[in-house]
């Protein structure tokens, strides 16, 4: 039985965790940051727009802004896309390969240059605003969430690794990888995780 570390909260890892447990894996969830939602300073009630959501952390924008269900929504991954579809949105686009560059290409192929709304976090790995403005899009971008990284690994996690060795570690973003590595350094765990498989 493989032991797998999921670097997300139990709540956000529910479906993935259930799938892994069903397939005879033991899981441990360790959250690396907290998310603070920010309501964008704009009013889009019942407007049919084009928008980019690069993280599930920004999905609250759809509800708080009451954006029209026929809007075209572009997102990086299939899991975020599924959640948006479950919310009732009809025109959801995402690339086959989970990649910001592939999403950028998809937007350029799907839309002629026009206004597009971009809801993102404080840290941006791939700046859609810069890239799309170069293609003559008008990009209106809004900070929709901030992250606060953990100060230290939980005692539960540190106690667990005293008696257990993980086979795989699931990392979900560049930001998560940086926080994870920083905490490993603080706790002298770099060698512990050095031989493990990191799935990014």
pLDDT in tens, the chain (200 residues): 889 999 998 888 888 889 999 999 999 999 998 889 998 888 888 889 999 998 888 999 998 899 999 999 999 988 889 999 999 999 999 999 888 999 999 999 999 999 999 999 988 889 999 999 999 999 999 999 998 899 999 999 999 998 888 999 999 888 888 899 999 999 999 888 876 666 65
Answer CATH for 2-32+150-199 from 1.10.580.10, 3.40.50.10090, 3.30.70.1520, 1.20.1250.10: 3.40.50.10090
* Beta bridge partner(s), residue 24: none
Q: Pick from 158, 178, 185, 189: which is nearest to 33 by CA?
A: 178
Answer CATH for 35-147 from 3.40.50.300, 3.40.50.150, 3.40.50.10090, 3.30.70.20: 3.40.50.10090
Q: Pick from 147, 176, 129, 175: which is nearest to 37 by CA?
A: 147
pLDDT at site 197: 61
Q: What distance lies between CA 37 and its chain's CA centroid? A: 14
Name the token pair of 118: 């971009």
What letter does residue 199 receive in the DSSP assignment? E
Q: What is the pTM of this model?
A: 0.78
């Amino acid at each position: 039985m493989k032991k797998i570390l999921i670097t997300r909260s139990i709540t956000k890892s529910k479906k993935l965790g259930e799938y892994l447990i069903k397939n005879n894996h033991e899981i441990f969830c360790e959250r690396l940051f907290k998310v603070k939602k920010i309501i964008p300073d704009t009013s889009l009630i019942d407007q049919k727009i084009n928008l980019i959501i690069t993280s599930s952390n920004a999905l609250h924008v759809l509800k708080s802004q009451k954006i029209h269900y026929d809007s075209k929504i572009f997102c990086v991954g299939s899991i975020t896309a599924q959640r948006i579809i479950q919310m009732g949105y009809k025109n959801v686009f995402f690339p086959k390969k989970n990649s910001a560059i592939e999403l950028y290409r998809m937007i350029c192929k799907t839309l002629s240059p026009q206004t597009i709304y971009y809801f993102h976090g404080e840290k941006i790995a791939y700046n859609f605003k810069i890239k799309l403005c170069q293609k003559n899009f008008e990009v209106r971008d809004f900070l929709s969430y901030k992250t606060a990284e953990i100060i230290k690994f939980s005692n539960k996690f540190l106690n667990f690794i005293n008696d257990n060795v993980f086979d795989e570690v699931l990392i979900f973003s560049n930001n998560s990888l940086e926080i994870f590595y920083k905490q490993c350094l603080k706790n002298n765990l770099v060698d512990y995780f050095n031989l493990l498989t990191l799935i990014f």
